[in-house]
Homo-oligomer: A and B are copies of this chain.
Amino acid sequence: MSATPHKTKPLQSVVQETVARCREVGLRRTKALEELLTTLLESARPMTLAELAASTRLADQCDKATVFRLLQRLVEHGVVRRLGLHERAAYFTLLVPGKHNDYLICTSCGTIEAIKAPCPVHHLEDEIRRKTGFQNLYHELEFFGVCPKCVPA
């Protein structure tokens, strides 16, 4: 339709699609919602509540409590996922249909990067779903270690 790069959908269109998903489950279209979704989508990695609340798009936009409650609603409706990632603070990531990420985390400097390799867990996940009867099954896979930069010479 338009001059979009052929590999990636333009950011704004994904944001609007996601807003639409939110509207369908009964959430209202607010400035804070759009900014939050955009911020999450722009980020290559999961972010903490503190990071989100302090980010450019949200800092003057709204209170930390607002971001918290917004995230809460989004998690509840399956638009955002809350991750552990070993830190004291929780991390949040946008669930874009068809996109799945596992992470590689440096236990020394805390850097988080998404792993590109295909996730080898889906088969086991199907098996568990079948054998245990768990519903809404999903997994979280993280690799921890000390990255080259942090390894002492």
Contact = CB atoms under 8 A, between A and B. Distances in A.
Interface string A108-150: 0000000101001101110111001111111111111111100
A86 to B, nearest CB: 5
A71 B122 CA distance: 33
Given A120-B120, A121-B120, A104 B145 contact: no
B143 A134 contact: yes
Contacts of A137: 143-145
Contact of A147 (B83, B120, B132): B132
Nearest to A88: B90
A87 B124 CA distance: 23
Number of identical monomers bound together in the oligomeric complex? 2
B146 A104 contact: no
A120 B126 CA distance: 13
Interface size range of chain A in the complex: 35 or more
A147 B128 CA distance: 11
B121 A134 contact: no
18 contacts: A82-B86, A83-B86, A84-B85, A84-B87, A86-B140, A104-B132, A106-B134, A120-B124, A128-B143, A129-B145, A133-B147, A133-B151, A134-B145, A134-B146, A135-B151, A136-B146, A137-B143, A138-B145
A32 B120 CA distance: 40
Given A84-B84, A123-B120, A143 B148 contact: no
